Amino acid sequence: MKVTVNKGIFVIILIFSLTLAGAENFKPVRQKTYDDQIYGYFSRALIGKNNDIIASFYKTPLRLFTSEKSIQFAPYGQGPNELTGLWTLCRYKDDIAMVEMPNKIKIFTGKDGTYVWKETKWFKRGPYAHTPRSVVFLDNKWFFAGINFHDMKETDKKISFVKVYGSDGKAIKDMLVRVVKNAKSATPFMHMDHFIEIYKDRLFYLIENELKVTVIDPKGLSVLKELSLETPGYYKPMPQDFYIWKKYDKPGENIEKDMEQWKFSYSRIMKVEIEGNYLVLQFRIFGEKQKKFALLFYNAENFKLEKTVFTDDCFLGARNGEYYFYANGDPGFDEEDADKCTINVYRWQEEK
Partner 1 sequence: MKKLDFFYNIAIVVLVIGIITVVIYKFAIPVKQPQDSFKIQEFEKVEIIDLSGNEIKLGQLMAKDGATYCIMFRINDCFSCVFDAIQDLKRLRDSGKACMGIIIHDLLDEVRGFTANYEFSPFFMIKRVDFYEFIKSPMTPVLVKFKNNKVESYRYFTPQ
State the residues that interact with partner 1 by CB under 8 A: 78-80, 84-85, 101-104, 120, 122-125, 127-129, 152, 169
Nearer to partner 1, 147 or 294 (CB): 147
Nearer to partner 1, 83 or 279 (CB): 83
CB of 67 or CB of 84, closer to partner 1: 84
Cβ neighbour number for residue 186 with a 10 Å cutoff: 18
Residue 250 Cβ, how far from partner 1 at the closest point, in Å? Answer: 22
d(CA 34, CA 343): 8
- How far apart (Å, rounded) are the C-alpha atoms in residues 8 and 181? 64
Can you list the alpha helix ranges (DSSP code H) found in 192-275? 251-264
Please say which residue, 117 or 348, places its beta carbon nearer to partner 1.
Answer: 117
- Compare residues 40 and 169 and give the one whose CB is closer to partner 1: 169
CB of 84 to partner 1, least distance (A): 5
For residues 194 and 145, give the distance between their C-alpha atoms in angstroms, rounded to a whole number: 6
Size of the chain in residues:
352
Q: Strand 130-138 relative to strand 141-149: parallel, antiparallel, unpaired?
A: antiparallel
From the number of C-beta atoms within 10 Å of its C-beta (0-12, 13-18, 19+), residue 222 rates as exposed
Q: Nearest approach, Cβ of 119 to partner 1 (angstroms)? A: 10
Minimum Å gap between C-beta 124 and partner 1 is 4
| Closest CB 125 distance from partner 1, rounded Å | 7
Alpha-carbon span 96 to 49, nearest angstrom: 9
